[in-house]
């Protein structure tokens, strides 16, 4: 071996000895020529193996890249299926229990949870049981109750407000499982939880201040402003306190039993899409112009009102106006057929006070009981125990210690607002402001309160339900100029029933096989 290396060294030394004039053939011995050939073959072999390795590696990379691309395409296809299911579910004519039963409306059959049938919007394509082609692949979808073990991978505890019955839904949430199939048979499975999420207990487009000893409590006891939110004093918010603009107040999870915020608190949060409800909608609104009029039992119109002709026309009552003195209050009774038109407001427990610009006052809560009132003009309620709902073209003021439960319940809004199964319990709706001021014994209200301008809740009040302010520009002379909750006012929201909200994709996850 040593001799071979010595010969190799000698060969190299002579091969590159530039001063030599001997012929090339005389430079090498037979042994040296054999070593050179061996080395050449060895180097060529190494190069061949390296080339093979590079080729194999390149092929593997191409296959991996191609497989990854197919999986990504399958993911996009499954995602399209989730969004298609979402569009279908937010417009259903029924509830999620009906969705779980399938097109035949019979639990325990092959089409359970299939997203096709008459309950879905006619302007949206269903997702048939065999799936739907999409791009260069397809997707299939099926809905499950969110406590069904087929889609529930959490510990064996039913989700909040669920009962363990997989064929019925009681918390307005379902899980849609979508299988997306891409090129080459690549598959991705996604679970999307889709459900109705109510707006917070109090929500406003404009700025909102919660101060004093005010309390926002309950399972849904949150506050949100699409502008700025200020929480001060000893105010308590049991859940979250958020703003799209700035937030000023106690930090997240600062609840100490008597004040603070129990959940997240902060600004720069997403907007809430608060709908614009006008007592008499315009012709370009999503609500029909007579939406609230035809849902009212009694309509009270102030003297010489510019709205009278519109109201009469929308209710097709032109022929009933003969002999009616329009310079006095006009009352339309829709509890009888055909409706009657008179000038006698006291027959329904209300009176017209012409002083201070004029307003309607609840004079006899017992007489007024169990009706929904559409009132043209400002409204004041002092005391009384009654079940009524009031829609006012102007402002509503509630003082003293009345107890009022909503009468206008289970209202179905057009699908552009929320699905038919999420019905509204309207208590008070004002075209301008709502001003609630409880006395020592406290007022007690239940339902949805909606002000198209601002709201002010103060004093010793107790309200169970939801408060929403659209936040139109303050009208000079109306009673409230900014949104505020103060004093010892307590607002409680525990149930989604009767509230405003929205169907959303709450969460999604990829299911690994």
Q: Are 489 and 180 in contact (CB under 8 A)?
A: no
* Pair 322, 427 in one domain: yes
* Pair 335, 450 in one domain: yes
**pLDDT confidence of 166, banded at 50, 70, 90?**
confident
* Pair 279, 345 in one domain: yes
Number of Cβ atoms within 10 Å of the Cβ of 134: 17
* Pair 254, 185 in one domain: no
Identify the pLDDT of residue 156. 45
Q: Please determine, for residue 22, whether its predicted confidence score (pLDDT) is greater than 90.
A: no
Q: Are 190 and 82 in contact (CB under 8 A)?
A: yes
* Across 31-40, 152-161, 254-263, 286-295, least confident range: 152-161
* Pair 155, 208 in one domain: no
Residues 429-438: pLDDT tens digits?
Answer: 999 999 999 8
The CB-side HSE value for 229 (13 A sphere, CA atoms) comes to 29
Identify the pLDDT of residue 5. 44
Evaluate whether residue 35 is within a structural domain: no
* Across 29-43, 442-456, 476-490, least confident range: 29-43
* Across 238-242, 307-311, 450-454, 504-508, least confident range: 504-508
Identify the pLDDT of residue 513. 66
CA triple 349-350-354, angle to 5 deg: 155
Q: What is the phi-psi region of residue 82: left when phi exceeds 0, alpha when psi lies from -120 to 50, beta otherwise?
A: alpha
Q: What percent of the chain has pLDDT over 70?
A: 88
Where do runs of H (alpha helix) occur along 235-299?
none
d(CA 54, CA 435): 79
List the beta strands (DSSP E) in 109-228: 132-134, 137-145, 173-181, 187-198, 202-204, 208-210, 215-217, 223-225
Identify the pLDDT of residue 154. 55
Greatest mean pLDDT among 154-158, 185-189, 202-206: 202-206
d(CA 208, CA 440): 25
Evaluate whether residue 382 is within a structural domain: yes
Domain limit, last residue, from 152, 176, 198:
198
Evaluate whether residue 2 is within a structural domain: no
Evaluate whether residue 49 is within a structural domain: no
Q: What percent of the chain has pLDDT over 90?
A: 69
Paired tokens of 186: 């690549």
d(CA 419, CA 436): 30
Q: Are strands 424-430 and 408-411 parallel, antiparallel or unpaired?
A: antiparallel
Domain limit, last residue, from 178, 198, 218:
198
Residues 221-230: pLDDT tens digits?
Answer: 999 999 999 9
Identify the pLDDT of residue 439. 79
Helix (H) or strand (E) holding 463: strand 455-469
* Across 24-38, 130-144, 310-324, 491-505, least confident range: 24-38
* Pair 123, 239 in one domain: no
Q: Please determine, for residue 23, whether its predicted confidence score (pLDDT) is greater than 90.
A: no
Domain limit, last residue, from 167, 198, 229:
198
* Pair 260, 157 in one domain: no
Paired tokens of 302: 């102030």
* Pair 115, 130 in one domain: yes
Residues 2-30: what's their mean pLDDT?
49
- pTM for the structure as a whole: 0.81
* Pair 246, 185 in one domain: no
Paired tokens of 332: 């339309």
Evaluate whether residue 95 is within a structural domain: yes
* Pair 180, 80 in one domain: yes
Q: Which residues contact 250 (CB under 8 A, 6 or more apart)?
A: 231, 241, 259, 260, 261, 265
Q: Please determine, for residue 442, whether its predicted confidence score (pLDDT) is greater than 80.
A: no
* Across 92-96, 208-212, 278-282, least confident range: 92-96
Q: Please determine, for residue 13, whether its predicted confidence score (pLDDT) is greater than 70.
A: no
* Pair 347, 483 in one domain: yes
Identify the pLDDT of residue 494. 93
Q: How many domains does the chain have?
A: 2
Identify the pLDDT of residue 15. 47
Residues 311-354: pLDDT tens digits?
Answer: 999 999 999 998 899 999 999 999 999 999 999 888 999 999 99
Q: Which residues contact 355 (CB under 8 A, 6 or more apart)?
A: none
Q: Please determine, for residue 284, whether its predicted confidence score (pLDDT) is greater than 80.
A: yes
Residue 485 domain boundaries = 202-502
**pLDDT confidence of 33, banded at 50, 70, 90?**
low
**pLDDT confidence of 159, banded at 50, 70, 90?**
low
* Average pLDDT along the chain: 88
Helix (H) or strand (E) holding 167: none
Identify the pLDDT of residue 411. 94
Q: Are 482 and 453 in contact (CB under 8 A)?
A: no
Paired tokens of 29: 């011995």
Identify the pLDDT of residue 9. 44
Residues 453-460: what's their mean pLDDT?
95
Number of Cβ atoms within 10 Å of the Cβ of 166: 21
Q: Which long-range contacts (CB under 8 A, 24 or more apart) does 355-359 make?
A: 357/477, 358/302, 358/303
Q: Please determine, for residue 11, whether its predicted confidence score (pLDDT) is greater than 60.
A: no
Per-residue three-class SS string for 108-126:
CCCCCCCCCCCCCCCCCCC
Q: Between these two residues, 416 and 381, which has the higher pLDDT value?
A: 381
* Pair 316, 461 in one domain: yes
**pLDDT confidence of 29, banded at 50, 70, 90?**
low
Q: Are 180 and 137 in contact (CB under 8 A)?
A: yes
Q: Please determine, for residue 510, whether its predicted confidence score (pLDDT) is greater than 60.
A: yes
Q: Please determine, for residue 64, whether its predicted confidence score (pLDDT) is greater than 70.
A: no
Q: Please determine, for residue 83, whether its predicted confidence score (pLDDT) is greater than 60.
A: yes
Identify the pLDDT of residue 123. 83
Identify the pLDDT of residue 88. 93
């Amino acid at each position: 071996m040593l001799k071979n290396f010595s010969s190799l060294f000698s060969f190299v030394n002579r091969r590159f000895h530039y001063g030599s004039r001997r012929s090339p053939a005389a430079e090498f011995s037979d042994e040296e020529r054999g070593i050179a050939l061996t080395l050449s073959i060895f180097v060529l072999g190494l190069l061949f193996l390296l080339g093979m390795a590079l080729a194999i590696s390149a092929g593997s990379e191409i296959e991996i890249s191609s497989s990854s691309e197919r999986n990504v395409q399958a993911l996009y296809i499954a995602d399209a299926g989730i969004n298609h299911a979402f569009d279908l579910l937010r417009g259903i004519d029924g509830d999620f229990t009906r969705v779980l039963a399938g097109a035949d409306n019979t639990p325990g059959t092959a089409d359970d949870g299939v997203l096709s049938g008459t309950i879905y919007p006619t302007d949206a394509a269903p997702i048939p049981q065999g799936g739907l082609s999409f791009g260069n692949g397809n997707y299939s979808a099926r809905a499950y109750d969110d406590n069904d073990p087929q889609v529930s991978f959490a510990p064996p505890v039913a989700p909040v407000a669920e009962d363990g019955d997989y064929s019925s839904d009681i918390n307005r949430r379902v899980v849609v499982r979508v299988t997306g199939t891409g090129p080459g048979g690549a598959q991705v499975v996604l679970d999307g939880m889709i459900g109705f999420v109510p707006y917070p207990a109090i929500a406003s487009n404009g700025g909102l201040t919660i101060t004093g000893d005010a309390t926002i409590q309950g399972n849904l006891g949150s506050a949100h402003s699409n502008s700025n939110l200020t929480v001060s004093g000893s105010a308590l918010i049991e859940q979250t306190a958020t703003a799209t603009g700035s937030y000023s107040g106690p930090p997240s999870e600062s609840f100490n039993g008597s004040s603070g915020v129990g959940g997240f608190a902060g600004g720069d949060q997403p907007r809430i899409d608060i709908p614009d409800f006008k007592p008499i909608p315009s012709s370009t609104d999503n609500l029909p112009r007579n939406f609230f009029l035809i849902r009212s039992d009694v309509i009270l119109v102030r003297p010489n009102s510019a709205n009278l002709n519109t109201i009469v026309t929308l209710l097709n009552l032109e022929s009933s106006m003969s002999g009616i003195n329009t310079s006095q209050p006009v009352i339309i009774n829709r509890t009888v057929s055909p409706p009657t038109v008179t000038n006698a407001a006291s027959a329904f427990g209300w009176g017209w006070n012409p002083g201070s610009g004029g307003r309607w006052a609840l004079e006899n809560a017992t007489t007024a009981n169990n009706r929904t009132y559409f009132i043209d003009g400002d409204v004041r309620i002092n005391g009384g125990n009654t079940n009524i709902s009031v829609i006012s073209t102007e402002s509503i003021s509630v003082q003293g210690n009345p107890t009022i439960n909503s009468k206008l319940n289970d209202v179905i809004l057009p699908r552009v607002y929320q699905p038919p199964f999420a019905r509204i319990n309207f208590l008070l709706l004002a075209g301008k402001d709502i001003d609630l001021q409880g006395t020592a014994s406290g007022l007690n209200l239940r339902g949805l309160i909606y002000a198209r301008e601002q709201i002010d809740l103060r004093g010793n009040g107790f309200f169970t339900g939801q408060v929403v302010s659209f936040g139109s520009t303050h009208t000079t002379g109306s009673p409230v100029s900014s949104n505020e909750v103060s004093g010892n006012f307590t607002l409680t929201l525990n149930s989604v029933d009767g509230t405003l909200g929205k169907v959303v994709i709450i969460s999604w996850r990829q299911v690994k096989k």
